[in-house]
Every structure is written in structure tokens, then in C-alpha cells.
Amino acid sequence: MTENTTSEYRLNLGGPTMALHCTPPAFAPALAQWFNRPSDEAAAHINLQFELIAHDDTLDLPNTLLKTKTLGPGGTFDIANGLISGHFDRQNGQGHIRAKGALTRGLLMRVMEQIFYQAFHSAQQAAGSDVFMIHSSAVIAKGSGFLFVGPSEAGKTTAALNSSAHHVLGDEMNLVLPKPAGTMIAGTPFNGTFKTKSPGTAPLRAVFLLKQGPQHRILPIDPAEAAGFLAAEIVPPVGLDQVPDSGTLPIMVEQAARLLETVPVYQLELLPDPGFWAVIDKHFDLGLD
């Protein structure tokens, strides 16, 4: 295992772990500050040289990094004409990422986070793990984990902000960990602007597919509709040396179907206030009062 140094930041995401060896070295503590999480001590499944490069051009930002990603020989990749580039050798788990330095400024770190999603999938594949990431809010209440899933503006952050009485894992990106004894959820440090979260893990009690409505209520949902909804919010399982292909969506659909088989899924209509917890409490008899 590579020893931790001041230039290394190690990120453990539900088991799969990446070691980022940073140039300049100051980027390692900057990552710890952004994620509000110290460097982890777990053994790294992949090791990446992560280099911030100077530039004088204006950034041309794509909506998502995957849409402009191209592959070259030897595991090389390029995103948005040099915005981020590098290579990854999956045989030895070693790689090099070069990112334009302006991506570290303010909210542009939210764009930078997307390359860590890809690094996570490379680490997950190296670890042989079936953990996956899903766009969601995640909350632990009375020891039970709840996922609030939906596209942008569906209410994920609203649900997280109105869950301050409980343990909020995150408002943007969380982990689903299939286990023999039952499905677990865990938070991630992604979306470093949302500070009202803390790490944790819990058994997953239910998944709620979010919809803004005139009142707080839990509704049944057709399994086929739920599967499509969930699959659309699972992060594509694309590693550093990969691009989306014909096999990507079937994996996401399979992950969604497996989740539906193990955990109850409902539609949750909600208003922008904490009242939905009374509905959840009544439905699951949590004893929150």
C-alpha cells in the first residue's frame, strides 16, 4: 500500500478506494477541505497521478463530461478537447489525470467531481464490488436508511434540507451497497457546497421517487415505471478507460431491477417543508415522536 503523504488524497467510496497523488501537492488538502473528509486509510484499488495544468484559454464546459469523452490507444482519454485528459491502465490500476486548473475555482469543482465518478467506477471494477452510485438524497432516521431519488429540481436538496432532525448522508450522490444480509446505503462527499451532511451507513428501508405535489403523501408505483425512473438516476458505470456503449444501459437497468427486488419503492409527493416525515413515520411506524 502506498503511504499517505501530504500530496496524496485517498477517497474511499463504499469500499472501492482511489489514491490521488496530487500536483501541486496543495491540491490534496484542498480536496479534503472541499469534501469535508480527511484522506482515508484504506488500501487503494487504483493509484492516480492527478495534475492540475496551467492554461490561458477560456473553459468550454460540456453539460456532462461523458458526452465529449473520446478514447485513444493505451487507455488514453480526452474530455472536451483537453479540459481533462490522461490515461489509465486497468491491468495495474495505475493512471494519470491532467485537469485544467480553473476547474478548482468555486462551483467549477462540481464539474471536476465528474472525473471522480469515473475514477470510482475504475476502482469499483478493480475491487470486484457491486456498489453503485445514484443521484439521490439519503437520510438515516431511527437507524433506517431512506433514499429520495429524482432528476434535477425534483426535490432532492429540499428533502435533505428538511431532514435536519435526522442524519443526512447527502443531497446529491449516494451509494447503494448490495449485501447478502440486505441492501445498505452510504453517503459520498460529492457536492462539497452542501455542508449539512455527514458520513454514515445504514440498512436501506425504502426508496422514494420524488414528485412535487399539493400535499405530502406516499403512493404506490408500477414496477416497470419505477425501474425506468431508477435506472435513469443511476450513474453510468463508466471507468476512466471507458465510454458509454451498448452495454452501459443494461447494467443500469439490472442495478435498478435488483434494487426493486430487495427494497420497497414508492412515489413520494412532497411540499418544501419537513411534513413528509410524519407521513413516512406513519407508514413505517418509526416512532419519530
Percentage with pLDDT > 90 across the chain: 89
Q: What is the dihedral of CA 82, 84, 90, 92, to 10 degrees?
A: 100
Going residue by residue through the chain, which has 289 residues, state the pLDDT in tens, using 9 for 90 and above: 344 457 999 999 999 999 999 999 999 999 999 999 999 999 999 999 999 999 988 888 888 899 999 999 999 999 999 999 999 999 999 999 999 999 999 999 999 999 999 999 999 999 999 999 999 999 999 999 999 999 888 889 999 999 999 999 999 999 999 999 999 999 999 998 998 999 999 999 999 999 988 999 999 999 999 999 999 999 999 999 999 999 999 999 999 999 999 999 999 999 999 999 999 999 999 998 7
Q: Note the residue count of the chain.
A: 289
3-state secondary structure the chain: CCCCCCCEEEEECCCCEEEEEEECCCHHHHHHHHHCCCCCCCCCCEEEEEEEECCCCCCCCCCCHHHHEEECHHHEEEECCCCEEEEEECCCCEEEEEEEHHHHCHHHHHHHHHHHHHHHHHHHHHHCCCCEEEEEEEEEECCEEEEEECCCCCCHHHHHHCCCCCEEEECCEEEEECCCCCCEEEECCCCCCCCCCCCCEEEEEEEEEEEECCCCEEECCCHHHHHHHHHHHECCCCCCCCCCCCCHHHHHHHHHHHHHHHCCEEEEEECCCCCHHHHHHHHHCCCCC
* Cβ–Cβ under 8 Å, residues 177 and 288: no
pLDDT digits (tens, 9 = 90+) for 37-46: 999 999 999 9
**Domains plus CATH for the chain?**
8-127 (no CATH), 132-284 (3.40.50)
- Specify the pTM: 0.94
What rounded mean pLDDT belongs to the chain?
Answer: 94
What pLDDT, on a 0 to 100 scale, did the predictor assign at position 117?
97
d(CA 274, CA 276): 6
* Cβ–Cβ under 8 Å, residues 128 and 121: no
Residue 89, C-beta contacts closer than 8 angstroms, at least 6 positions apart: 74, 75, 95, 241
